[in-house]
Amino acid sequence: MTVTATRVVGRLDRVSSGRFFLIALAPVLIVYLLTTTWTKVTSPDPFTNTVAAWKLGSARSIELDEYEPLGNPGYSGIISWIVDIDGHNVSKYPPGAVLLAAPLYALFPGELETYPPRDPRRWDGSLVAVPVPPLWQGALVAATTAALAVALAGLTVRSFVGSATALLGTFVYGFGTGAWGVASHDFWPHGPAMLWIALGIWLLTTEREWPAGLAFGAAVLTRPLTIVIPATAGAVIALRRGRWRPARRLAIGTAAGLAAVITFNVVAFGRLSVLGGYESDFIGRGWSTDVGWYLANVLRGLFDLGRGLFVWSPFLLLVLIAAPKAARRASSPVVGAALGGVVYILVLWKLNRFGGGGGFIGYRYPLEGIAAAAPLFLVAFKEQIATHRVWARVFLLTVVYSIVGYTAALL
């Protein structure tokens, strides 16, 4: 390391946590804001979140009766995921992401603009006009939450790996994964869920279990299956430390998020359920004993040419291999969250097909799991990969490949 580089690293180590966080956040946020989708709808999922946030913010309602035709068979799942519940149309999704964008729509509701069939701003080929609210509110939430999640991962492990490694790891995470290709690119629920997960892990590492539980509860309100992440983290913390009080504190806050999901589903769908507007097929797949289907689904989730996790971000395979040894030196919250992230991905692939639909680049279902595992992955790079010449070179090549791939696809 040159004298100049040593001085830069030394100065970076001396800055406060708040300033380091801003240094990590700024480049990622700028790029995300420049490349997010401000004026075009790309998929039914972000469109559904957009109209639900617009209606909640502008009219304080979850009913989407302006979109009644879209709840009918032939349109639901193609143009949007709006479903008809006893004559009223609502989004089938949990409300977590919508709640972040709704205040912006309350302040700047704008007006609906009708997109005619085959309009270049559309994403489907159906012959029906679609009213669309302003899109910038959702785009802003997507880009900002994804960037915050990425920067928080670096901040979480700064004291373990050093400022330079934490900063470089933040940029690898930010530009070499679906955090850029999906979460920041459109109003999916992934950016908000990733933010709450990252915040929960950071709070756990500072031994603030009560607010950590609330953060994870907000993740559950956004993506209910993420409950396996704090559940696993709490169990690991309890086993490693030999006491259950931190886990109980974490569980109470997380349970509040689960209760909020169930309450919302009672109001929106008239049933006491975690699934809400999702199909019951998930339950059937969960209980299925078809091991062949599951293994094939996992393999495709990892290596499919269009949607494979290790196809788009192959460096994650290296840090995953290195993670078990690194876990011996990492803190209990970091290890527990990472294990929970792996469990989350494996459970999700048991309940759902690996692909995740269309209208996005690369993979999207593993994003919350990556957010949970990111701090441990940074420790694994520092402890195992950076100290091994061959591994370090392979890691560098795979990182360059991932960043170039996302850059080429997004720009």
pLDDT in tens, 319-338: 999 999 999 889 999 999 99
Are 236 and 324 in the same domain? yes
Tell me the residue range of the domain where 52 lies: 44-119+130-134
Q: Is the confidence at residue 361, as pLDDT, over 60?
A: yes
Are 54 and 29 in the same domain? no
What per-residue confidence (pLDDT) applies to 13?
74
Q: pLDDT digits over 258-308, tens only? A: 999 999 999 999 888 888 777 667 777 777 888 999 999 999 999 999 999
Residues 6+ apart with CB under 8 A from 399: 172, 176, 315
pTM for the full predicted model? 0.95
Q: pLDDT digits over 45-87, tens only? A: 999 999 999 999 999 999 998 888 887 777 777 888 998 888 8
Q: pLDDT digits over 113-171, tens only? A: 998 988 888 888 777 888 999 999 999 999 999 999 999 999 999 988 999 999 999 99
Average pLDDT over residues 23-47: 94
Residue 199 lies in a domain: yes
Tell me how far CA of residue 184 lies from CA of 104, 293, 400, in angstroms: 17, 31, 20
Q: Is the confidence at residue 345, as pLDDT, over 80?
A: yes
Binned at pLDDT 50, 70 and 90, residue 379 comes out as very high
Are 29 and 79 in the same domain? no
Are 189 and 81 in the same domain? no
Are 51 and 29 in the same domain? no
Are 105 and 160 in the same domain? no
Are 238 and 283 in the same domain? yes
Are 64 and 97 in the same domain? yes
Nearest to 197, CA basis, from 312, 324, 333, 325:
333
